[in-house]
């Protein structure tokens, strides 16, 4: 079973800038890559990686956005998925901590970074006047 220290060591090995919010919970910051809120939470036996991309404005037709998110889930997400959490669009990836290795962890974080860097502009164009999450301010 991986420990919180193991998860921190993975982030250090990836040369990520992060801060610990509480025991087993960290937030990754990387101003150079415009990444400001990937949350990593270790709650054995699960490691959850999550990033909030934007808040949806109330009302309106979001069908084009939902279609884009489903298409990205099917074609370009490495292992995670886009979803809705309340009125927020999020991307998540869930890993088992029992046999977690560095490559699996790196793949999850890289997948979320792809969401922010490559997908965000494709997503936001479907949501006029959306409040962008802290994830992508490029």
Q: d(Cα 37, Cα 112) in Å, to the nearest integer?
A: 10
Phi-psi region of 112 (alpha: psi -120 to 50; beta: other; left: phi over 0): alpha
Rounded to whole angstroms, how far apart are CA atoms 54 and 114?
Answer: 15
pLDDT digits (tens, 9 = 90+) for 60-79: 899 999 999 999 999 998 78
- CA–CA dist 19, 39 (Å, integer): 10
Helix/strand/coil percentages in the chain, nearest 5: 35, 35, 30
133's tokens: 């999450």
Where along the chain do its domains lie?
Answer: 4-132
CA distances from 43 to 49, 82, 85, 89 (A): 11, 21, 19, 22
Tell me the pTM: 0.87
At the topology level, CATH places domain 4-132 in Yope Regulator; Chain: A, (3.30.1460)
3-62 tens-digit pLDDT: 999 999 999 999 999 999 999 999 998 766 556 789 999 999 999 999 999 999 888 899
Q: For residue 44, what pLDDT is reported?
A: 97
């Amino acid at each position: 079973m991986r420990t919180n220290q193991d998860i921190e060591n993975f982030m250090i090995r990836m040369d990520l800038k992060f801060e610990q919010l509480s025991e087993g919970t960290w937030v990754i910051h990387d101003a150079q890559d415009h990444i400001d809120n990937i949350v990593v939470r270790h709650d054995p036996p699960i490691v959850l990686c999550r990033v909030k991309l934007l808040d949806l404005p109330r009302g309106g037709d979001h069908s084009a956005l939902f279609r884009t998110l489903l298409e990205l889930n099917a074609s370009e997400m490495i292992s995670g998925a886009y979803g809705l959490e309340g009125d927020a669009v999020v991307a998540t990836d869930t890993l088992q901590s029992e046999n977690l290795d560095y490559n699996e962890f790196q793949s999850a974080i890289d997948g979320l970074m792809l969401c922010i860097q490559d997908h965000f502009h494709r997503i936001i164009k479907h949501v006029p006047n959306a409040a962008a999450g802290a994830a992508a301010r490029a």
